Structure 1
Amino acid sequence: MTITSVVAVIAGLGGLAGIAAMSRLRTLRSMVVVVAVVAILATLSGVVAGIVGMAIEGPAGNTVLVVIAVGGAVGLGAAFFAARRVVRESRRLERAVSAGDYTAPKGLPAELQGIADSLEEAYARERALEGARRELVAWVSHDLRTPLAGLRAMVEAIEDGVVTDPETVGRYHAQIRVQVERLSGMVDDLFELSRIHAGALRLSRARIGLADLVADTMDSAEPLARAKGVRLAASAEPVPVEADAGALTRALGNLVVNAIRFTPSDGVVTLRAFARDDAAWLLVGDGCGGIPEADLPRLFDVAFRGESARTPGSDGGAGLGLAIARGIVEAHEGTIGVVNDGPGCRFEIRLPAAH
């Protein structure tokens, strides 16, 4: 066999042996050392085969062997040092995670530092979500107790015979119906929000026009606006979008209903739809008097109350409408925001336009 064939066979066998060994190993240190040993043995086999093939003897052959031995020892030492550092830093990261330390340790190798920074960001998101969940549970529990207490009091009054005249009984029945519808709306909102947060919101997209969406939303909101004494004004261009009509109508309806609730009587709520910069825009304006600038970025957060003027009232649900609207809009690859404008606020939805 030629020298090349001999080297190839020896190196191949050494590589296969190294792969077999690493498949059984469970520590980074051992794997790095095996890689170094395989590389050194492959090099050594080539040099030895070269010495034998070229019949290098005497001092020259001994010198080559000594050089190979020294190089191998240095290579193994470097591999051991590298493996030791990788294991040490990995264990430092493991201890930080096990101890619940949400601050990523510094000075790690680049790859481990990237993992540590990602874990720190994930922990931060988890803490924020957990805080929002606790706040939401406390908020919804409070908003559920109020109508339930009223329902219990009215039912007990009717059952115990405290209220017997037909007029009062009829009024109690009407109030019970209103409270039951309010509770049903709160449960629907919670269910929708849970689907959004779980990524289970399924959209049935179709080509729709924003003008039809605006018309349907205005028709649905008209009774509430009339009862509140608020005037509705709308203008819409026939802008096409690829969207789930039902979901998008709910998001837009939440904004309009929210605007009506916080606009005083004789005020105006506006709804506009148009195309600009290769996007479809929906704008809802109200007369709420404005929102503190510090509260604007958090207005769509779950369970964010803000100033008392915008907390859920007796005519509202759990105050989740804005969070649901954001989830639906973002599911359509759109954005939603709010700015103070004139006598109130302007909510802005931006959606990709259909081509």
Structure 2
Amino acid sequence: MPRSGGLATKWVNMFRSARIKLTAWYLLIIMLVSLMFSAVIYRLLSLEIARFEYAQRIRIERRFGGMTMHIPETTELVEETRRRILTMLAIINGGILVVAGAFGYLLAGQTLQPIKVMVDEQNRFVTDASHELRTPLTALKSAMEVHLRDRRLTLVQAKTLIAGNIKDVNRLQALADALLQLARYQKANGQTVKERLQGEEIVKEAVKKIEPLAHKKQIGIKTETTGFSIWGDKYGLTELLIILLDNAVKYSPAKSTVTVRGNKTDGWVTISVTDSGTGIDKEDQPHIWDRFYRAERARSDSESGGYGLGLAIAKKIVEANRGMISFTSREGRGTTFTVRLPAAP
């Protein structure tokens, strides 16, 4: 998918500039504190030297009483000591400047990294969404322009055009709904409304919504669930199972079976959806959670449809419900998606 090189370069430069500025602020704060402590230390040491000089002079005078003798001046020695202290403090502050600069730059990078990841993700999201929106919009525009120039357009052709346009509009609506759903779960960040749910009811509701699609391909949906309760978001978990079942039905051959299993073990509920489809290619497996990613096999299959958002949404739903999702797949033998969710107390 296309990427905007200029936009990427702009964000890289902004990130570098922000990192340098943050490092400068770290250095400024550290050096201000260091210089303040250095000033205090120098002042205290100077007072201690002066006190020691005075005490030493008094001891000499008391020891020799009224004897007339020359007491050597210590002013030069005191000044030399003070210069050495200043030199040592300057060296220490210089070392702090260098070390703090290096560590500050690293720390600034660590601080800004989550923001950079978020911005990069948003840029990819906007770019990919724009690309996916452009395709049906271009198809709509091209079809209407061609028929608009056709002076011999018949009623049948017009109806065919409208039917095709409605199909493209439906695809756009499906994409918009998927984008809104994905954005909602990204924003939720685990803050969804959770309640005690009967797992079997969630499974039955999801199966009921997928049955019409399965019926078209003569695919049977088999459920093997024991009584279990889930602590989670009802709407989200139902949508999660619908996504997994929809994927299983779409990529399974006709007259096959999709199996849904559910059980509770050690405070966790495990739900799995198994199909008997073609499986997921090894080169595609690391990317199946990426938004807008579709395997080449899926792209060549016009019946599968979709925009590659389903599994990305599924993962966000699982994360919002404090769960985990994984899969196992073997080419030619099907795929199993497994979800682990907190059981209801």
TM-score normalized with structure 2 length: 0.73
- Encode CA deviations 1:270-311: one digit per residue, 9 max, x unaligned: 111111243111111112211122322220111222232367
Structure 2 unaligned blocks of 5 or more: 1-26, 64-70
Q: Residue 290 of structure 1 aligns with which residue?
A: 279
Find out whether 1:241 has 2:230 as its counterpart.
Answer: yes
- Encode CA deviations 1:149-194: one digit per residue, 9 max, x unaligned: 587479969x9783425xx777766655544333222111011222
Q: Residue 205 of structure 1 aligns with which residue?
A: 194
- Encode CA deviations 1:95-120: one digit per residue, 9 max, x unaligned: xxxxxxxxxxxxx3xx4364155168
What does 1:35-74 align with in structure 2 at a 5 Å threshold?
35-46=37-48, 48-49=50-51, 56-58=58-60, 72-74=82-84
Letter in 2 for 1:351: L
What does 1:1-355 align with in structure 2 at a 5 Å threshold?
28-46=30-48, 48-49=50-51, 56-58=58-60, 72-88=82-98, 108=102, 111-112=103-104, 114-115=106-107, 118=110, 121-122=113-114, 125=117, 129=121, 132-133=124-125, 136-137=128-129, 139-145=131-137, 148-149=140-141, 152=144, 162-164=153-155, 177-199=166-188, 202-309=191-298, 313=302, 316-340=305-329, 343-355=333-345
1:208, distance to aligned residue in structure 2 (A): 0.4
Deviates more, 1:236-245 or 1:44-53: 44-53
Q: 1:68 to 1:346 in 2, by over 3 A?
A: farther
Does structure 1 retain, via aligned residues, the 8 Å contact 2:198–2:230? yes
Q: What is the DSSP-based 3-state SS (H/G/I as helix, E as strand, rest coil) of the residue aligned with 1:56? A: helix
Q: 1:263 to 1:257 in 2, by over 3 A?
A: same
1:210, distance to aligned residue in structure 2 (A): 1.2
Structure 1 unaligned blocks of 5 or more: 1-24, 92-107
Distance, in Å, in 1 between the alignment partners of 2:254 and 2:318 is 29
Q: What is the DSSP-based 3-state SS (H/G/I as helix, E as strand, rest coil) of the residue aligned with 2:293? A: coil
Q: What is the DSSP-based 3-state SS (H/G/I as helix, E as strand, rest coil) of the residue aligned with 2:245? A: helix
Letter in 1 for 2:47: S
The two structures, once aligned, show a CA RMSD in angstroms of: 3.9
Letter in 2 for 1:189: A
Distance, in Å, in 2 between the alignment partners of 1:315 and 1:321 is 12
1:324, distance to aligned residue in structure 2 (A): 0.5
Deviates more, 1:190-199 or 1:256-265: 190-199
Distance, in Å, in 1 between the alignment partners of 2:40 and 2:231 is 58
Does structure 2 retain, via aligned residues, the 8 Å contact 1:312–1:318? no
Letter in 2 for 1:141: L
Does structure 2 retain, via aligned residues, the 8 Å contact 1:296–1:338? no
Q: What is the DSSP-based 3-state SS (H/G/I as helix, E as strand, rest coil) of the residue aligned with 1:254? A: helix
Instruction: Between the two structures, name the one with larger relative contact order (CA 8 Å, sep ≥ 6).
Output: 2
Q: What is the DSSP-based 3-state SS (H/G/I as helix, E as strand, rest coil) of the residue aligned with 1:308? A: helix
Does structure 2 retain, via aligned residues, the 8 Å contact 1:33–1:80? no
Does structure 2 retain, via aligned residues, the 8 Å contact 1:311–1:319? no
Distance, in Å, in 1 between the alignment partners of 2:199 and 2:151 is 54
Q: 1:349 to 1:85 in 2, by over 3 A?
A: same
Count of residue pairs the alignment pairs up:
310
